Amino acid sequence: MPTPITKKGYEALKADLDRLRKEERPKVIEAIAEARSHGDLSENAEYEAAKERQGFIEARINELERKLAEARIIETANLSSETVVFGATVVLLEVQTNQQRRYTLVGLDEADLKNGRISVQSPVGKALIGRRVGDQVEVTTPAKVVEYEILEIRFDEL
């Protein structure tokens, strides 16, 4: 099943994969060879640490390859929509506190709450999809129920 992702998010995953393949994998192979040269592997902590690191790197490479294979890049630059969709930046008014919030709906791997990027699979993301400017949205969070009013939907370059 295709997973939506922005072009910028796809490029970041690809760069991470390239770094692991071209830099991290060769380093760990070299570290294993160095540790092997020290003799008895049964009591060689350097060898065990390098093998553990190799397992982590290979697992991450496999995970990134799978994510990239399943990724479907969604171009957001020229989108226009009356409703909230993947890639939209939504300006909300939190009704209880009268504070404005701005969220951009992105894929799971791109979510970064500190920078206002939330996953479309998050509670807020799910509640916003398909809504329009002026709609009131209730979001149940672990702490409380939050009510938002949608003030603006726009599409920024991602």
The candidate with the shortest Cα–Cα distance to 51, out of 36, 72, 66, is 36
Region 2-26 average pLDDT = 93
pLDDT for the residue numbered 157: 66
Confidence at 43, pLDDT banded by 50, 70, 90: confident
pTM value is 0.75
H-assigned helices in 7-44 = 7-19, 25-36
**Per residue in 63-104, pLDDT tens?**
999 999 999 988 776 677 789 999 999 999 999 999 999 999
Give every CB contact of residue 21 below 8 A, 6+ residues apart in sequence.
61
The packing angle between helices 25-36 and 45-70, to 10°, is 160
Coil vs helix vs strand at 103? strand
pLDDT for the residue numbered 74: 85
**Per residue in 109-119, pLDDT tens?**
899 999 999 99
Confidence at 44, pLDDT banded by 50, 70, 90: confident
The candidate with the shortest Cα–Cα distance to 65, out of 125, 122, 14, is 14
Comparing 38-42, 117-121, 138-142, which segment has the lowest mean pLDDT? 38-42
Helix, strand and coil content of the chain, in percent to the nearest 5, comes to 45, 25, 30
- Ordered domains of the chain (ranges, CATH): 3-73 (1.10.287.180), 89-154 (3.10.50.30)
Coil vs helix vs strand at 92? strand
Q: How far is CA 156 from the centre of its chain?
A: 18
CB 100 within 8 A of CB 113: no
